[in-house]
Each structure stands twice: as structure tokens, then as C-alpha cells.
Amino acid sequence: MTTLNKTTTFYPAKTMIKHYVIPLLLLLLPFGQNVFAQDRTITLDEALKLGLANSNVVKLSKAKIDQAISQYEQAKDGAKPTGSAGLTYDRAEIPANKLTFGKTTLALPSGANAYIGTASINEVIFGGNRLKYAEQSTELLAQAARVDADNDKDGVAYDIISQFYNLYKVLQSKKVVEQNLATIDGQIKQAQRFFDQGIVTKNDVLRFQLQRANIELNGIDLETNRKIVNYNLCILLGLPEDTKFNIDVINEADRPIAPASNYIDTALTQRAELRSLDLHAQVADVNIKKVRSNVLPSVVASGNAYYINTTIDPLPLNGNYILPITLGVGISWNYSNLWTNKNKVTEAKIQREEIDLNKTITGNNVRREVNQDYQSYVMARDKIKLLQTAIDQATENNKILESKYQSNIASATDKADAQTLLYQAQINLELAKADAGLAYYTLLKSTGKLNK
């Protein structure tokens, strides 16, 4: 009897990790990257919240508001007293330090130190209201910065909505493609069976196969578009670029719609451009007052203190320095402004008129834009109704030709054409629903109520 001795080798844990586990992880790494790519279902509200929170455009607008507020605070600081203080040290060397006056000789020191200190404070009692007008102007400009920020926010939100609906349109079209591929595959199998039975010709089978190839080509185009729109949406939302979005079916309810005049009236009061122009008109009014105030005098109260010490010790005990203090009120008037300021006032009035004209032009553009967006939304709603009827008709036509084809009454060409019509009607309906949703938000944007 022969006995076999088996020797079992035990590897240390570190050796096992080094020789087996690490190479296995490295091998699986490329697959892991695809596994962990994010596949995310997102709603429009979630997209808007993410996009507005991560938008650099919105952050830049916030910085502009902060800058305008800072300028307003600086204008308020201009009304505060101003003051300054200084200390000067001088050293004088006197090589020729003797003066002779007849029989009297005056000897001066060969050198001397001098310390001179000054402190002053000034308060404008009346400056022709120029500081008050400066505060009012900067405050209005800060409000205008907030309005501009709202406009920027609307622009970001609309970009997100546009990309969201574009992606929805692509995804819905891809679903229709998949459904039609499944249908055409069934038709190909049936046609092949009929061909084997001698009921149809090979050309009938080829027609279905050609139709399937055309649908596949459409699917390739849609997938390319999906990748482009998906990437754009990732950038807008500030999410990783490998995030793949899914969108649930959007049920575009039949929203009630008011007359076009209602939307136009709302736009004329809510549009950021018009609100900004109103604020700049107020700034122009303040500027006219500010320019007119140039002809008024200024009254300034001041206080000054001087410390003069000519000894080595900058703070002697007595008798070596003087400390005069002055208080006063001064008035100044550049009366030449009485005849030179007239043209400056004229220029300020012209700037005010330009703002009024610009508002009129902008208002007319807003009216045209709102009316166009209103009509586009009405048309999109009407298209949905017509396309739903078209689908019902195309579905019924397809059923009839399917029955005739199976009964060998209709040709494969007729059957393929009926299927194509139904397929196209389905795509058109999904696109029309998305277009209606986007048209609705476009109308909200043109009326200035997108983020309200």
C-alpha cells in the first residue's frame, strides 16, 4: 500500500493581497468605472433647483449685487466727517551760526531738532445736496443690479428648461423607435413565413427589412442627440459629465389660457428689462438734480490742532513747544458754474430722454415677443389635438391594412406605408407635447414670471 504525503502551503495575508487581490482589482477597474456611472431620473423642479444653485452666472450676478451695495455704503461714507493727523521730524545743521549786528554778535546753535504735529477734522455742513444725490443714485443702482440678477436667473432657468425638454423629446422618440422596431421585427418574421409558404415574394420581405434599417438609422441619430443634450444638461446642473438622465413621462395638462392682452400687460410690469430702465430713469432724474446743485455754495466746518516743538525732547515739560488750536467755518462758491453749468444740465436731460425712448422701444419689442410666444403656445396646443386624431386614424388604417395584408388583399408596400404613417404620427405627438411644454415656459419667460 502506497501512502501519498500532501504538503499544504499557507500564504500570509499580505502575500495573498499582493499577488491575487490587487491584480484582480486592477483588472476590474475599467468595468467598475462603467458600473459606477450615475443613471439618474430627474424632474424639472429638481433640475431647476440644482442648476440655479450651481450656476456660475447666478453667482456672478450675486457678486455684482454685493459690489453695488458696497458702492452704496461708500456713498454713505462720503457724508461722514473726514480727519487726518501727521507728525514731522526735521533736523537742521547750521555751519555758519554767528550773526554780527554792529558791535553785537548773535550766536546760533550749530544744530537743532524740530517736531511738528498736525491734526484736523472737517465736516460738510452743506454741500449743495451733492452727497445726498450720490447716495440716492447708488441706492437705485443697487436695486437695478438686483433686477439684472433676476433677469440672469431667468436666463439660466430657461436654458435648463430648454435642455430638459429637448432631452425629453429625444427619449420619447427613442421609445417610439424601440416600439416600432419590435413591431417591424414581428412583421419581418410573418413576411418570412409567408414567403416560405409561397404567399408573398422575396421583395415583400426585403421591403420590411429596409424599413427596419431606416428606423435603426433614425435611432442612431437620436442616440447621438441624446448624448449631446445629456452632456449639456450635466454642465448646466453642475453634475458629473458621465451622469445619464432619465425623465419620466411629462403629462402636459391642458392649462387654462387667458387672452393675449393679459400676458402683454403682465410683461410690461414684470419684465426685468423694463424694471431696470425705470430704475435708471430715476437715476437720471437724480443726476439732473445733482448737476443743478453745482451752482450752490459749500459750507464746511473744520477744526485743526498744531504741535510745534524745537527741542530734542519731543515732549518737554514746559516752555519749549506751542500747541495752537483753531476752529472755523468756511464757505466756498464757484460762481462761474452759473454760466458754465447750463450745458451740463442739458446733457443730463438728454440722457433722461434717451432712457425714455429706450423704454418705449423695449416695450414694443416685449409686446411683439409676448404675442409671438402666446401664438406659438396656442398653436402647440392645437397641434396636440390634431395629432391625437391623426394617431387614431393612422392606427385604424394600420389595422385595416394589416388584416388585408394577412388576407393577401393588400401589398407589402401598402402595409409598410401604413406602419410608417403610424410611426411618424406617434413621434409627432410626443414632440408636440414637449413643444407645448416648452412653449408654455417660453411664454412665462417673456412675461417675466418664469421664476415667480
What are the angstrom distances between the C-alpha of 407 and each of 85, 200, 250, 342?
Answer: 109, 11, 40, 96
Distant-in-sequence, close-in-space partners of 143: CB < 8 Å, separation ≥ 6: 279
| N-term to C-term CA, the chain | 94
Residue 96 is placed in which grid cell? 555758519
CA distance linking residue 403 with residue 410, whole number of Å: 8
Scan for cell 427589412, then name that residue. Answer: 209
| Side chain identity at residue 443, one-letter code | L
All residues at 6 or more sequence positions from 224 whose CB lies less than 8 Å from its CB, including other chains: none
Q: What is the pLDDT of residue 33?
A: 41
What's the confidence (pLDDT) of residue 178? 86
pLDDT of residue 14: 44
Secondary structure element (H or E) that encloses residue 339, with its range: helix 337-340
Q: Which 3 state secondary structure label does DSSP give 329? A: strand
- Tell how far CA 251 is from the center of its chain: 28
Cell of 440: 408654455
Q: Which residues partner with 112 through β-bridges?
A: 92
Q: Considering only CA atoms, which of 448, 266, 287 is closest in space to residue 279?
A: 287
Q: Phi and psi dihedrals of 351, rounded to 5? A: -60, -40
Distance CA 382, CA 20 (A): 66
**Taking Cα atoms as reference points, which of 282, 239, 240, 340 lies closest to residue 136?**
282
C-alpha to C-alpha distances, 10 to 13, 14, 16, 230, nearest whole angstrom: 9, 12, 10, 52
Strands, E, within 220-345: which ranges? 244-246, 298-309, 321-322, 325-332
pTM of the model: 0.74
Q: Kindly state the helix (H) or strand (E) to which residue 165 belongs, with its residue range.
A: helix 130-196
Quickly tell me which residue has 436695486 as its cell.
143
pLDDT at 163 (0 to 100): 93
Domains of the chain, each with CATH number or no CATH: 39-80+128-296+336-446 (1.20.1600.10), 81-126+298-332 (2.20.200)
Long-range contacts of 316-323 (CB under 8 A, 24+ apart): 321/115
Looking at residue 173, its pLDDT comes to 86
Residues 6+ apart with CB under 8 A from 414: 401, 404, 405
Length of the chain: 452
Separation CA 62–CA 56 (nearest Å): 10
Q: Catalogue the E-assigned strands of 316-372.
A: 321-322, 325-332
Low-confidence stretches of the chain (pLDDT < 50) are 1-36, 312-316
- Look at residue 354 in the predicted model and tell me its pLDDT: 95
Name the 3-class secondary structure at 262: helix
| Measured distance CA(446)–CA(372) in Å, rounded | 10
Helices and strands counted in the chain (H then E): 11, 9
- The secondary structure element, H or E, covering residue 11 is none
Rounded to an integer, what is the distance from CA 174 to the centroid of its chain? Answer: 31
